[in-house]
Amino acid sequence: MATGRTHRPASRSRGIPEATVARLPLYLRALTGLSERSVPTVSSEELAAAAGVNSAKLRKDFSYLGSYGTRGVGYDVEYLVYQISRELGLTQDWPVVIVGIGNLGAALANYGGFASRGFRVAALIDADPAMAGKPVAGIPVQHADELEKIVSDNGVSIGVIATPAGAAQPVCDRLVAAGVTSILNFAPTVLTVPDGVDVRKVDLSIELQILAFHEQRKAGEEAANQAAHPTAARRDDSAEQGPDGDVPAVMPA
Amino acid sequence: MATGRTHRPASRSRGIPEATVARLPLYLRALTGLSERSVPTVSSEELAAAAGVNSAKLRKDFSYLGSYGTRGVGYDVEYLVYQISRELGLTQDWPVVIVGIGNLGAALANYGGFASRGFRVAALIDADPAMAGKPVAGIPVQHADELEKIVSDNGVSIGVIATPAGAAQPVCDRLVAAGVTSILNFAPTVLTVPDGVDVRKVDLSIELQILAFHEQRKAGEEAANQAAHPTAARRDDSAEQGPDGDVPAVMPA
DNA sequence: CAGTGTGAACGTGTTCACAGCC
DNA sequence: GGCTGTGAACACGTTCACACTG
């Protein structure tokens, strides 16, 4: 595996597991913090703690990139920052367009983490003519009619969709047709795209629902323990929604 | 597995795989759409398409909840909506507080998907005294000093953190101390919480970095094909960042 | 000796393919 | 006949534990 010096790009950059890729930004952030505090080296243990993972996972992740550590010492912070940045493609800069400048779009435009790492907001686009020309985060909003021109003129390959659900698919289609091949979707819809186009979705409501699931479970366990432990049971405004019995009005055949 | 009528909550609600839980909201959304269009039943194939997964996965997921389908027919839409809602704990309502009413916090407060499914914004909290009393999304912002009181008065168990990175951990600690046991974190920081507290993180910058990784890979493959296929190569403003050779200024030992 | 790098064991998630039922 | 429900096979991801090395 990756014999010392990096040789064939294909052999070492092929097949980095998705799960590892998803953690690289986490490591990078932790490393950047260390770098700013001028820490020269870290052990896998320390870095793992800073990134919120366990050290075995971190070492395995790094092993996919190559052998960038020093046994008995740890990892050189600056060197790792560079290697991970390069692996993620952050040594080049990525022009990004944000479509849909409502509350969320504006929040994204103002988000500092954007510019910090290789990403540059090339344009803000909204369908509302009243928005056109209005500056948000110092960038004038452009009308949706300009979308295709903006994408091709700026060589944009990453698009962020922050429109209402209904507008998302048409916007997506236009972005893709104009040449965008990666989309970050904040609208609560499943987007359909041709092969070769990546979509990642960020969905607030889904995250909350997952939390609710676990929260409910906790409450259930608490209730179960209550027989033996009749202590304070928080958040019991009404009857514990019975996981049994109470069937809805509508019933299947 | 789940013999017909649901009996012991523990036996059937124990051990729904995390991956399945994460998809339930997706199914629920697709089903809600069908329900609004008064579609009475769906096959696993149709529903899977609407949710953007494959049908085998969907059937396996549903099998963890019980046998809610009818062979040869499909699933009753209304019934499934109810079962999934109940499983996710959405038949009760969850008061939520949002801390940090900047651009993002305001976007979240205005987000419709919130109220639609069991979640209710109980309070908006910000550290800036100038914000206090100002209504956002029709809800007056309260000062951070009130945090503990708000959480306990409303029986809040889910908190959303939309503060700057530096404030996130202290806010988190206060929320947890006040009784919150589930946290949705939008700040780009790793939060440390006691056992029994769930944290989910939404991180825009990480999502973009993952997209950049894949985007870079595509560009690399494109470049590789270029030898045989010297067609138009989009987004090649500068030299293909060599995955080999070019070492940074800083070097390891 | 301290700490990386990694095979091997393990666990989780996905897909297949078909038996069983309506 | 058509579609669900599910064991069994497979793929992917995580953890363990230790050989190896600066």
Give the pLDDT of residue A248: 37
Contact across the interface for A216 and B110, Cβ inside 8 Å: no
Chain B residues within an 8 Å CB radius of A206: 22, 25-26
Give the pLDDT of residue A123: 98
A96 touches chain B (CB under 8 A): yes
Alpha-carbon distance of B202 to A184, in angstroms, equals: 13
A240 touches chain B (CB under 8 A): no
Identify the bridge partners of residue B135 per DSSP, sorted by sequence position.
B140
- In whole angstroms, D3 C1' to B6 CA is 23
Chain B residues within an 8 Å CB radius of A237: 155
- In whole angstroms, D5 C1' to A23 CA is 36
pLDDT tens digit sequence for B142-166: 999 999 999 999 999 999 999 999 9
CA A83 to chain centre: 20
Calculate the alpha carbon distances from B194 to A55, A163, B179, B202 in Å.
20, 37, 12, 20
pLDDT at B241 over 50: no
How does residue B112 score in pLDDT terms, banded at 50, 70 and 90?
Answer: confident
Alpha-carbon distance of A81 to A85, in angstroms, equals: 6
Residue A29's nearest CA partner among A53, A60, A64 is A53
Which residues are CB-contacts of B225 (< 8 A; sequence separation ≥ 6)? none
Report the share of chain B in percent with pLDDT over 90.
Answer: 76
CA B193 to chain centre: 19
Q: Which of A32-41, A195-204, B90-99, B229-238 has the lowest mean pLDDT?
A: B229-238
Exposure string for A7-16, b = 16+ CB within 10 A, e = fewer: eeeeebbeeb
Alpha-carbon distance of B88 to A208, in angstroms, equals: 10
Average pLDDT over residues B103-128: 91
Q: Which amino acid is at A20?
A: T
**CATH placement of domain B9-88:** 1.10.10.10
Write down the domain spans for chain B: 9-88, 94-204
Contact between A221 and B39 (Cβ < 8 Å): no
Task: Specify which residue's alpha carbon is closest to the C1' of nucleotide D3.
Answer: B72
Strand C atom within 7 Å of A59 CB: yes
- What CATH class has A94-204? alpha beta
pLDDT at B249 over 80: no
Give the pLDDT of residue A113: 78
User: From the annotation, which residues of B make up the binding site for NAD(+)?
Assistant: 100-105
Give the pLDDT of residue B13: 44
Residue B89's nearest CA partner among A65, A236, A209 is A209
Instruction: Report which of residues A191 and B118 the model is more confident about.
Output: A191
Which residues are CB-contacts of A138 (< 8 A; sequence separation ≥ 6)? none
pLDDT tens digit sequence for B153-212: 999 999 999 999 999 999 999 999 999 999 999 999 999 999 999 999 999 899 999 999
Q: How many residues does chain B have?
A: 253
Identify the bridge partners of residue B70 per DSSP, sorted by sequence position.
B74
Which residues are CB-contacts of B241 (< 8 A; sequence separation ≥ 6)? A86, A89, A91, A92, B216
The DSSP-derived string for B176-217 is HHHT--EEEE-SSS-----TT-EEEE--HHHHHHHHHHHHHH
Chain B residues within an 8 Å CB radius of A214: 182, 198
Q: Which residue has the tokens 């344009």?
A: A123
Give the pLDDT of residue B220: 79
The 3-class secondary structure across chain A, one letter per residue, is CCCCCCCCHHHHHCCCCHHHHHHHHHHHHHHHHHHHCCCCEECHHHHHHHHCCCHHHHHHHHHHHCCCEECCCEEEHHHHHHHHHHHHCCCCCEEEEEECCCHHHHHHHHCHHHHHCCEEEEEEEECCHHHCCCEECCEEEEEHHHHHHHHHHHCCCEEEECCCHHHHHHHHHHHHHHCCCEEEECCCCCCCCCCCCEEEECCHHHHHHHHHHHHHHHHHHHHHHHCCCCCCCCCCCCCCCCCCCCCCCCCCC
Alpha-carbon distance of B196 to B174, in angstroms, equals: 15
pLDDT tens digit sequence for B3-14: 333 333 333 445
> Could you tell me the two tokens for B214?
């894949």
Torsion of CA A62, A67, A73, A76, to 10 degrees: -70
Which residues are CB-contacts of B229 (< 8 A; sequence separation ≥ 6)? none
Closest-approach residue (CA) in chain B for A33: B189
Q: How far is A128 from chain B (nearest CA, A)?
A: 18
Average pLDDT over residues B220-244: 48
Which residues are CB-contacts of A194 (< 8 A; sequence separation ≥ 6)? A176
| Sign of the alpha-carbon dihedral angle for B147, B150, B151, B156 | negative
Alpha-carbon distance of A141 to A125, in angstroms, equals: 6
Torsion of CA A152, A157, A162, A168, to 10 degrees: 80
Contact across the interface for B78 and A250, Cβ inside 8 Å: yes
Give the pLDDT of residue B114: 76
pLDDT at B107 over 80: yes
Alpha-carbon distance of B243 to A6, in angstroms, equals: 9
| Sign of the alpha-carbon dihedral angle for A73, A79, A82, A83 | negative
pLDDT by residue for chain A (253 residues), tens only, comes to 333 333 333 334 468 999 999 999 999 999 999 999 999 999 999 999 999 999 999 999 999 999 999 999 999 999 999 999 999 999 999 999 999 999 999 999 998 877 777 899 999 999 999 999 999 999 999 999 999 999 999 999 999 999 999 999 999 999 999 999 999 999 999 999 999 999 999 998 999 999 999 999 998 777 666 655 444 444 333 333 333 333 333 333 2
